[in-house]
Structure 1
Amino acid sequence: MNDRTLQILEFPAILAQVADLALSGLGRSLAGALTPRTQAAAVAELLRETSEARWILESAGAPPLYGLADLSETFRRAEIGAVLDPLALQGIADFLRGCRKTREFMLKRLDQPQAAMVAGYALGLVPLPELETEIERCIRDGQVADDASPELRRTRREMARLQDRIQSKLQQLLAAPAAREWLQEAVVSFKEGRYVLLVKAAQRQKVPGAVVGSSGSGATLFIEPQAVTQYTAALRQLEAAEQEEVRRILAQLSAEVAARIAELSRDLEIMAQYDLAFAKARFSRASGGVAPALNETGRIRLAGARHPLLAGTPVPLDLAIGQDYRSLVITGPNTGGKTVALKTVGLLTLMAQAGLHIPAAAGSELAVFEEVLADIGDGQSIAQSLSTFSAHITNIIAILGQCGQRSLVLIDEVGTGTDPAEGAALATAILEYLYQRGAVTLASTHYPEIKQYALTAPGFRNGAMAFDRQNLKPLYRLVVGQPGASQALWIAAKLGMFPEILANAEARLAGASSLRQPDPAAPPEASALPDGPVEPAPPAASAPPEAVTPAGPAVKIGDMVSVPFLAEKGVVCTAPDAKGRIRVLIKGKKMELPLQRVELLIPAEQLYPADYDLNIVLLTKEERRLKHQMGRKHLPGVARVVSPEEQ
């Protein structure tokens, strides 16, 4: 499987989540090493392992994987004849207890069809009760126990007797009346393996014995009294005998471990596999995963699929490809979910082929591919002097050289980064080549030429990321069978583009569309406004302005409306013209908009008294002053743009 694709689709991040759910370093290592398999039988077995482990987890709880740790280095040392320390031996005993308990736990479920394979792993575990019992008898709390051998028990008892005698002698010296003269402090201390008293340096001659050391100032000497010297010497001999016996016991236990290395190593492999299986089961439960059905014909059918790395509650993906068509061209706004849809299909395919359940509804189906190939992200590289277009083409060339009938190809923004006409032509040729090679392909694009090609080409289908045209918001839902629009103006508005620029762009877009191919069914677009003040016609004295409703809400001058695609409110400056356009005052600026782009909020009669002068709202103070002056007399060199109703 292509390593670059694994990184692009964030497969290592999934493995990291599975590894975090393992109990041991061995399980975490196995989880991190998972790779997608390419044979359907192997994939089916891996998925069955996960399914059975989850069934056991939910019906009986986690198995008792006691003492599971990476003991491979310990086993290696024992095999070459090294003497293992007490902690290492205790770790082996704990591991053997875990093997025994896990075997008992699993064999109880061997006759359950939902767990037969995973429970059957336990048949390979070799219990070693004699070795487990012997180590536990000899090692307690990380130390060799007194009862490990009769000789060790006798030696330690004699050592304890001598220690008591030494303490008794020293206490007698401390209690003597004359001790006050030469004692620096009335305590028994232990220094360099000997029991000593703290004696004043000036009174050295009053305490017969060996000077073991002195304080930093030299005022205190640490003296082992002559009265306990013979006992200390005997104690040193017993300590040497104790160490020799301890070493003999450890060597004997190590030899017993070495004799069973083959069984122990096999048990370690099985227990590590159990750790991995139940880490996968925990991941499945945490992500709401299911085992998909498998096929080798390139058919993908996802229901309610979710990207496992997206936080919150992402919109589920429903998709079917590989049966009626093999190439899907996805269009829609840049933030509408095209890339997430591509990544979801690719990542869930990799997960399933690695034996992981996928977050989707029951009944989902995935193909087993030999290659999953992806070009997602701009791939720009300064170090390699690659532009966005060059990086894309370099990656796509590599994909074209590897793809075949059992390939899943994912390309984001195919043909982008160059002249649109050439990019669209090249992208269409690439998609056609992939189809001819037999690959299942999902590609996103903004090029209308590719959308048009997918409408008529055999084996191709358009797909659109659903968009709420009423509220101008993406729905993040893939709709197969129809092309989508890029919604660039919505994106710009969402990011804060100036309203007057958006209106200008709408007008230019409408003009370009009419030049390319007039479409009477297309909704009218916004147009640019002339420079200078624009004022509405004042309300007629005889009657209020009539409401006009050419395919839009009934609005009149003075009504308050909302403009959803700008997320703003404004006041209507003019009645709709013959083309259904109105002018709206928004934040002190007048914009010409199609009637379909606004929604009536509050009628004018609910906002103003019947005789209210709307010029106060619709015109600036300077505009009102200029209008008043021009109504009284001619002002040379002064001009004012009036609304259509005044002409």
Structure 2
Amino acid sequence: MKIPQAAEFEQIKVQVKKKIISDYGKNLFSSEAPAASYTTAVKRMEETKEAVTLLAAGLAVPFMGIQHAQSDTEKIEKGFILMPHELVSYGDFLRSMPRIKTFFEKHHALAPILTGYSDSLADFTLITEKISQSIRHQRIDPEANRHLRKIVRQIDQIEADLKKVFLKFLSQGKYLQDNRMIKKNDRYTLPVRVEWQHQFKGSIIERSNKGGTVFIEPETVARLNDRLILAEAEKTAIEYQILAELTGLIAEELPLIHQGLDCLAVLDVIFAKGKFCRDINGLPLTLNQKEELILDQVKHPLLGDEAVPLDLSLGIHTRCMVITGPNAGGKTVVLKTVALVCAMAHHGLFPNHHGQSSVPFFKSLSMDIGDQQSLANALSTFSGHMANIAGILAENQRNSIVLLDEIGSGTEPNEGAALAIAIMDAIYRSGALLIATTHYGEIKQFAVDHPDFQTAAMAFDPQTLAPKYRLLVNQVGESNAFWIAEKMQIPKPIVAKAITYLSSKAYPLQKNVFAPLPEHTHLSEHPQLLTKGDQVLAGDRGQKGIFYQYADNGQAKVWIDEEMAMVAVKRIRLLIKQTELYPAGYDLDQLFIDHRTYKFNKDLSRGSKKAYKQLKKQGKQKS
């Protein structure tokens, strides 16, 4: 099953990945496909259930050193030698395997499936003990090797001899930039002021960036420096040999290590799923093969505390549902909740619900949600929807679910409704389950009349008509277009006329006679007529603005600095025509509102509770 992008399941995956410890586990989960079989889906659900049980009991799997274990293993395979800090981390990773195996054996009754994974974990005690003996505090322990111990003591003695020799030089402080010996290019030197460099016999090893200091190696310490360099080179060679030996011990066991690495990555992912389910207060749900979708007070997992629980049943008495009601009422959220719950079930994740939810194992999940307009492909919103639905119809099959938002919208209403009914009938006859949302009365009536369709509506407050985002099954919702238009400040007389026209169909058809324009108006004085959206220079100061419309007395309205200003037409000069600035069909009206109003209207259109509360508050203040 392919999960549509509109379901927003990727946002769930991002949250789960944050809880995965290892890079290998993150990559594994990123590439995890929806379950290909019912058996796999059930197994994933049971694994997560066991992880949640262990977490609820306050038990933690002793994962150690697994964060970069895969990348370190790849280094070993390519022949690289691990550094001390990498060996310490890898030792923790190897040490964790028998501990994790013991952990699951101890709690076998709580997690029998997960205990089965731990059977492939081997014991690498010989390697881990060797690493512990050889490396302490992220460095190779000198006591780990007889030759290393000898050469370290030799280095200590040479450095002690160097300090003795340097003491007599350091007493001559007036010649020195700093009263200490400094190592430059692996040789100990004196930091001498440049004007006193001739006071010392020796070699200049380096000069400071500003030239004020020269670093001189006195003749009397040159031989000691030579001995020190040779000793340190020998020490480096011995340490490299120790690191190579430890890395080689790991390389010999790579086949068994790979088994353990694969096992721990899977367990890492499973426990991350369990933590996610615990964090959203998720409860296990049932997977069925009877094409029955039952949502028992399910909360949308991405909306947090704001989510309104959803009750829904499909596939038992009826196979299709048509949800009606106005925009911003929560219809789209219902579709996305259904899609997410189905997608999560395929990955062994369960939502917050009351415990009696049951999801069918679908082979296909299809959605048509949102604005499908594409300027690049010259597709209108309606064309985009039709292209998407055509693909859905081509792949539609039994044992699938189809979710269609505002079906048939974006074109002539009668044609759109007829086309929508034909599409829904085709999907129904293919055997798929269907949930669609609509405003159209014909589609509502079709759902009422069809014996295998049920209707549902989004709940609204009967007093204020504010949305409650709750689904009411077996009801038909109203679009509430007149109420919304009035709240969006369409003049009340216009709304009243619209209500009259709806019932009487007596539309005003009288021709209006308009008086001719007076001669010598600003229109005739300015043959270059301005249109809404043109960019202009306006006023004596020549401020940039956007032309809105002509007014009386030789004036015009121009949007300047997010305010509408009246400017004399003769003071306006065209800069750029709106046709050059905006694509065809662009909504120019949004240019003439401030950002706060634009955002408020946008929030209303997408169903923001906060925006509706603000709108309701404004209504109370006006009344």
CA-to-aligned-CA distance 1:602-640 (integer Å, 9 cap, x gap): xxxxxxxxxxxxxxxxxxxxxxxxxxxxxxxxxxxxxxx
The Cα shift of 1:234 comes to: 1.9
Instruction: Tell me which of 407, 414, 426 is aligned to 2:400.
Output: 407
Instruction: Tell me which of 420, 431, 450 is aligned to 2:443.
Output: 450
User: Is 2:275 the counterpart of 1:279?
Assistant: no
User: Is 2:167 the counterpart of 1:171?
Assistant: yes
Residue 512 to residue 292, structure 1, CA distance change in 2 (3 Å): farther
CA-to-aligned-CA distance 1:331-369 (integer Å, 9 cap, x gap): 111121111111111111011111111222201000010
The Cα shift of 1:27 comes to: 2.8
**How far apart, CA to CA, are the structure 2 residues paired with 1:504 and 1:317?**
38
Q: Aligned letter for 1:97?
A: R
User: Is 2:123 the counterpart of 1:127?
Assistant: yes
Residue 435 to residue 156, structure 1, CA distance change in 2 (3 Å): same
In structure 2, the residue matched to 1:58 is 56
The Cα shift of 1:49 comes to: 0.9
Residue 221 to residue 413, structure 1, CA distance change in 2 (3 Å): closer
CA-to-aligned-CA distance 1:388-421 (integer Å, 9 cap, x gap): 1111111111111111111100001111111111
CA-to-aligned-CA distance 1:50-75 (integer Å, 9 cap, x gap): 11101101103332211112333322
**How far apart, CA to CA, are the structure 2 residues paired with 1:339 and 1:204?**
82
Q: Aligned letter for 1:32?
A: S
Contact 1:308 1:359 in 2 (8 A): yes
In structure 2, the residue matched to 1:190 is 183
3-state DSSP class of the match of 1:212? strand
Contact 1:472 1:565 in 2 (8 A): no
User: Is 2:230 the counterpart of 1:232?
Assistant: no
| 1:100-499 equivalences in 2 (<5 Å) | 100-110=98-108, 112=109, 114-175=110-171, 179=172, 186-199=179-192, 207-215=200-208, 220-499=213-492
In structure 2, the residue matched to 1:549 is none
Residue 222 to residue 434, structure 1, CA distance change in 2 (3 Å): closer
Residue 495 to residue 200, structure 1, CA distance change in 2 (3 Å): closer
> Please, which moves more after superposition, 75-84 or 386-395?
75-84
3-state DSSP class of the match of 2:65? coil
> Please, which moves more after superposition, 137-146 or 372-381?
137-146
In structure 1, the residue matched to 2:34 is 36
Q: Aligned letter for 1:163?
A: E
3-state DSSP class of the match of 1:190? strand
**How far apart, CA to CA, are the structure 2 residues paired with 1:416 and 1:80?**
59
**How far apart, CA to CA, are the structure 2 residues paired with 1:184 and 1:424?**
90
Contact 2:335 2:403 in 1 (8 A): yes
In structure 1, the residue matched to 2:2 is 2
The Cα shift of 1:467 comes to: 2.6
Residue 482 to residue 135, structure 1, CA distance change in 2 (3 Å): same
Query: Which structure 1 residue ranges, 5 or more long, are not aligned?
Result: 514-563, 571-585, 588-647
The Cα shift of 1:256 comes to: 0.6
3-state DSSP class of the match of 1:312? helix
The Cα shift of 1:480 comes to: 1.8
**How far apart, CA to CA, are the structure 2 residues paired with 1:45 and 1:279?**
16
The Cα shift of 1:567 comes to: 8.0
In structure 1, the residue matched to 2:539 is none
**How far apart, CA to CA, are the structure 1 residues paired with 2:476 and 2:351?**
28
The Cα shift of 1:189 comes to: 2.3
In structure 2, the residue matched to 1:21 is 19
Q: Aligned letter for 2:2?
A: N
> Please, which moves more after superposition, 440-449 or 88-97?
88-97
> Please, which moves more after superposition, 62-71 or 379-388?
62-71
Contact 2:291 2:361 in 1 (8 A): yes
Residue 173 to residue 472, structure 1, CA distance change in 2 (3 Å): closer
Tell me the number of residue pairs that the alignment of Structure 1 and Structure 2 aligns: 516
**How far apart, CA to CA, are the structure 2 residues paired with 1:569 and 1:21?**
46
TM-score calculated relative to the size of structure 1? 0.75
**How far apart, CA to CA, are the structure 1 residues paired with 2:399 and 2:209?**
80
The Cα shift of 1:213 comes to: 3.3
Contact 1:388 1:417 in 2 (8 A): yes
TM-score calculated relative to the size of structure 2? 0.78
CA RMSD of aligned residues (A): 2.6
The Cα shift of 1:156 comes to: 0.2
Residue 166 to residue 338, structure 1, CA distance change in 2 (3 Å): same
**How far apart, CA to CA, are the structure 2 residues paired with 1:218 and 1:315?**
73
Residue 408 to residue 99, structure 1, CA distance change in 2 (3 Å): same
**How far apart, CA to CA, are the structure 2 residues paired with 1:53 and 1:320?**
29
**How far apart, CA to CA, are the structure 2 residues paired with 1:145 and 1:84?**
16
**How far apart, CA to CA, are the structure 1 residues paired with 2:196 and 2:477?**
102
**How far apart, CA to CA, are the structure 2 residues paired with 1:472 and 1:209?**
94
Residue 181 to residue 79, structure 1, CA distance change in 2 (3 Å): closer
**How far apart, CA to CA, are the structure 2 residues paired with 1:123 and 1:220?**
66
Q: Aligned letter for 2:371?
A: D
Contact 1:413 1:445 in 2 (8 A): yes
3-state DSSP class of the match of 1:23? coil
The Cα shift of 1:80 comes to: 4.0
Contact 1:38 1:369 in 2 (8 A): no
Q: Aligned letter for 1:168?
A: K
**How far apart, CA to CA, are the structure 1 residues paired with 2:155 and 2:114?**
53
Higher CA-based Rg: 1
Residue 292 to residue 512, structure 1, CA distance change in 2 (3 Å): farther
Q: Aligned letter for 1:350?
A: A
Residue 48 to residue 569, structure 1, CA distance change in 2 (3 Å): closer
Q: Aligned letter for 2:354?
A: A
Q: Aligned letter for 1:147?
A: E
3-state DSSP class of the match of 1:60? coil
Residue 435 to residue 153, structure 1, CA distance change in 2 (3 Å): same
**How far apart, CA to CA, are the structure 1 residues paired with 2:163 and 2:129?**
37
The Cα shift of 1:466 comes to: 2.1
**How far apart, CA to CA, are the structure 2 residues paired with 1:449 and 1:295?**
34
Residue 511 to residue 266, structure 1, CA distance change in 2 (3 Å): same
> Please, which moves more after superposition, 198-207 or 451-460?
198-207
Contact 2:459 2:468 in 1 (8 A): yes
Residue 312 to residue 496, structure 1, CA distance change in 2 (3 Å): farther
Residue 503 to residue 227, structure 1, CA distance change in 2 (3 Å): same
The Cα shift of 1:474 comes to: 2.3
Residue 449 to residue 156, structure 1, CA distance change in 2 (3 Å): same
**How far apart, CA to CA, are the structure 1 residues paired with 2:56 and 2:301?**
21
